[in-house]
């Protein structure tokens, strides 16, 4: 069976080339992300943020590998149904067909793994450079090679390839050979029971996660945003064959002339081909737009939240607290930021105590001045008790009355929690410390931002000698720009290579579709169409398919953005929704350009031979 699989592979290599490429890229992405993740996790707390990002990257890479390889194999097997039908007619049983396809998957997994391992080293260098450039890891950070990764990569390549062909091989073995040869019955049915089941399942899951995201903290909402987009993308991909015929009818209203009618007919007739081409586009748009929109929406909501919370006119930025007792100043709330390590201990029973240390940033304040500069009070407890060996913590950390151990500089103190701060979208303080327990030397060298309220007729210029003076709005705009820069870095790390992978899958689907259309194009030419007209018809068809993928991907992203917008409304009292129109424009123009160029090239290649030789050739 392996010999027959190898002969099939060498004879129909254009169909398998895309599958090999997807397995290769999947192995490379997962291997790279896993190696960097392990290296970062063992490097200590200074790269803790990078560990979280890499864990997300690894999860998305694994999802894309399984999803795209599965859809690619399913399309490849569908393109070969006539070959498989002939194998059945000459005596091959259903089990032999399945073993043939699984053997081919095994070969492709081996080839994809062998090529993916060295490619993964190049991807690892690119990812590490990206993390260093964006400041998520130190400049000297270098991921280390691990010998065990060879076994993991081999397992990933073989498992993804075999898992990708399992469902397709089962369906191919069930099709009756005469139905496949005649293109009737089960062979032509695209919306199978499996598609209906997974489409409904993932659609329900995406809807449930979108609802849940409206009731979780901001960090949880971001994580749910990615999962919601993935689930919605899978659901709409499974259900996309229902949309293709409708899109064909709509295209018929727009596309005029013989070429338009031909493109419309091909679109309605090639439902499987159109759905397979649109699938990677749906995932690409859903991931990129949902993630960018979620980060931008949370950033906008955080700014609105801070603007409503602050009671002040100016912000004076200094190194260490400054004496701002000048004429016209009504109140000053100095907020000094210091790194802090908080250790918590939890009694697990049976004499076991779980100890956990969290790195963070504490804001050193005068409790009365801080309460006067902020509208929102704590969820529980009181800032009036924030004196001596006490601390105020963020929501969900520990209840009032608990004790934690804090390392401030080289001092270690046991602190009692006296207040739990309100939930925020970002930008709020993680921990609050009273000024009297922090050494003066640490305060003198730490960055301090003082919220200043002015009286009538006060001159802001009087504060210029004490530090950098900005209005509250300018200060919030600057903080928002920094957060946007961080968000862009997160997007680049998480979605950069994954988005490229999905884009390559789109090109691959177009190429696979064109390899099986040589005779179709030849028939169109012998009936009177020129080569240029056939190519233009194929490009028109690909444009309609691209539109389907973009619209369905946009719907998947919309489910996520609605959930995030609801979360901002619950936390801040004012729902915010930011759509990344710039990114949307880039994706739309790029998708049409890439798919159009690929369709043109493949159609030109498919129409290069003499049409008479193709129409008369035996299939």
Q: What is the dihedral of CA 281, 286, 291, 294, to 10 degrees?
A: 150
Averaged pLDDT for residues 431-455: 88
Contact between 303 and 249 under an 8 Å Cβ cutoff? The reply is no
**pLDDT at 104 exceeding the cut of 90:** no
Cβ-based neighbour number of residue 465 at 10 Å: 9
CA 22/CA 164 separation, integer angstroms = 11
Question: What pLDDT is stored for residue 185 in this prediction?
Answer: 45
Instruction: Give the list of residues 6+ apart from residue 128 with CB closer than 8 angstroms, or none.
Output: 36, 137, 141, 142, 143
Q: pLDDT > 70: what percent of the chain?
A: 81
Most confident segment among 6-20, 364-378, 508-522? 364-378
Is pLDDT of 390 > 90? yes
Q: How many CA atoms lie within 13 A of 203 on its CB side?
A: 14
The CB-side HSE value for 313 (13 A sphere, CA atoms) comes to 15
**φ/ψ bin of 344: left (φ > 0), alpha (ψ from -120 to 50), beta (otherwise):** beta
pLDDT band at 255 (very low <50, low <70, confident <90, very high): low
Select the more confidently predicted residue: 513 or 379: 379
Tell me the Ramachandran region of residue 409: left when phi exceeds 0, alpha when psi lies from -120 to 50, beta otherwise: left
pLDDT band with cut points at 50, 70 and 90 for residue 393: very high
Give the pLDDT score at 541.
Answer: 83
pTM of the model: 0.77
The mean pLDDT of 88-109, rounded to a whole number, is: 76
Tokens of 142: 């270098």
Residue 79 or 589, more confident: 589
Task: Please determine, for residue 2, whether its predicted confidence score (pLDDT) is greater than 70.
Answer: no
| pLDDT attached to residue 8 | 65
Residue 173 has pLDDT above 70, yes or no: no
pLDDT for 481 equals 79
> What pLDDT is recorded for position 184?
46
**Would you state the pLDDT for residue 71?**
73
543: pLDDT strictly greater than 90: no
Could you tell me the residue ranges of all domains in the chain? 1-189, 191-310+478-619, 323-466
Instruction: Write down the pLDDT at residue 38.
Output: 82
Q: Is 124's pLDDT higher than 70? A: yes
Q: Are strands 411-420 and 403-408 parallel, antiparallel or unpaired?
A: antiparallel
The predicted pLDDT at position 12 comes to 64
What share of the chain in percent tops pLDDT 90? 6
The reported pLDDT for the residue numbered 433 is 93
Helices 48-79, 13-41: crossing angle, 10 deg rounding: 170
- Candidate from 320-329, 423-432, 488-497 with smallest mean pLDDT: 488-497
Q: Range with the lowest mean pLDDT among 192-206, 232-246, 508-522?
A: 508-522
Instruction: Give me the chain's average pLDDT, please.
Output: 79
User: What is the DSSP-derived secondary structure letter of residue 46?
Assistant: G
State mean pLDDT over 241-265.
Answer: 71
What pLDDT is stored for residue 522 in this prediction? Answer: 81
CB within 8 A of 468, min separation 6: which ones?
316, 317, 318
How confident is the model at residue 365, as a pLDDT?
92
531 — pLDDT class (breaks 50, 70, 90): confident
Written as one string, the DSSP assignment of 410-466 is TEEEEEEEEEEPPP-SSSS-SEEEEGGGS-HHHHHTSEEEEEEEE-TT--GGGGTTT
More confident residue, 581 or 528: 581
Cβ–Cβ contacts within 10 Å for residue 311, how many?
14
Token representation of residue 144: 């280390």
């Amino acid at each position: 069976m392996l010999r027959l699989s190898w002969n099939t592979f060498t004879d129909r290599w254009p169909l398998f080339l895309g599958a090999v490429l997807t397995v290769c890229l999947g192995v490379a992405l997962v291997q790279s992300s896993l190696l960097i993740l392990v290296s970062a996790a063992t490097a200590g707390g200074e790269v803790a943020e990078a560990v979280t990002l890499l864990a997300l990257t690894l999860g998305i890479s694994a999802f894309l590998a399984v999803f795209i390889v599965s859809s690619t194999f399913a399309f490849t097997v569908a393109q070969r149904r006539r070959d498989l039908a002939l194998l059945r007619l000459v005596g091959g049983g259903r089990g032999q067909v399945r073993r043939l396809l699984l053997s081919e998957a095994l070969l492709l997994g081996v080839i994809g793994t062998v090529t993916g391992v060295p490619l993964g080293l190049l991807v690892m260098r690119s990812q590490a450079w990206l993390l260093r450039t964006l400041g998520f890891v130190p400049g000297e950070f270098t991921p280390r090679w691990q010998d065990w990764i060879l076994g993991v990569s081999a397992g990933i390549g073989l498992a993804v390839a075999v898992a990708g062909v399992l469902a397709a091989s089962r369906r191919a073995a069930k099709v009756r050979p005469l139905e496949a040869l005649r293109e009737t019955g089960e062979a032509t049915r695209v919306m199978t029971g499996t598609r209906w089941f997974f489409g409904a399942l993932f659609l329900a899951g995406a809807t449930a996660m979108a609802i849940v995201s409206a009731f979780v903290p901001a960090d949880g909402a971001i994580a749910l945003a990615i999962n919601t987009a993935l689930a919605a993308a899978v659901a709409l991909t499974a259900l996309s064959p229902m949309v293709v015929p409708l899109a064909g009818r709509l295209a018929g209203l727009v596309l005029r002339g013989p070429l338009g009618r031909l493109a419309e007919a091909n679109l309605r007739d090639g439902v499987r081909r159109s759905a397979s081409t649109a699938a990677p586009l749906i995932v690409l748009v859903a991931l990129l737009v949902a993630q960018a929109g979620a980060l931008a929406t949370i950033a906008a909501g955080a700014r609105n939240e801070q603007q409503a919370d602050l009671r002040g006119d100016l912000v004076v930025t200094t190194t260490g607290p400054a004496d701002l007792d000048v004429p016209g100043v009504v109140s000053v709330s100095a907020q000094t930021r210091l790194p802090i390590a908080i250790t918590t201990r939890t009694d697990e029973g049976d004499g076991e105590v779980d100890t956990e240390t969290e790195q963070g940033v504490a804001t050193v304040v005068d409790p009365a001045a801080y309460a006067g500069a902020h509208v929102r009070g704590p969820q529980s407890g009181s800032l009036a008790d924030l004196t001596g060996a006490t601390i105020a913590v963020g929501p969900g950390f520990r209840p009032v009355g608990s004790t934690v151990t804090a390392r401030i500089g080289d001092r270690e103190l046991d602190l009692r929690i006296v207040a739990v701060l309100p939930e925020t979208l970002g930008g709020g303080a993680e921990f609050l410390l009273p000024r009297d327990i922090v050494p003066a030397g640490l305060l003198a060298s730490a960055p301090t931002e003082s919220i200043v309220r002015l009286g009538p007729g006060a001159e802001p210029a009087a504060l210029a000698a004490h530090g950098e003076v900005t209005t509250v709005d300018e200060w919030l705009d600057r903080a928002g720009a920094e957060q946007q820069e961080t968000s862009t870095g997160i997007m680049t790390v998480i979605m950069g290579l994954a988005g490229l992978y999905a884009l390559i899958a789109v090109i691959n689907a177009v190429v696979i579709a064109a390899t099986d259309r040589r005779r179709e194009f030849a028939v169109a030419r012998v009936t009177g169409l020129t080569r240029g007209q056939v190519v233009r018809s194929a490009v028109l068809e690909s444009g309609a398919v691209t539109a389907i993928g973009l619209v369905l991907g946009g719907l998947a992203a919309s489910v996520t953005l609605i959930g995030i917008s609801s979360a901002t409304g619950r936390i801040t009292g004012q729902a915010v929704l930011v759509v990344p129109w710039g990114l949307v424009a880039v994706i739309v123009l790029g998708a049409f350009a890439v798919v159009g160029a690929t369709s043109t090239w493949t159609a030109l290649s498919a129409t290069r031979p003499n049409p008479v030789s193709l129409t008369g050739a035996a299939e």
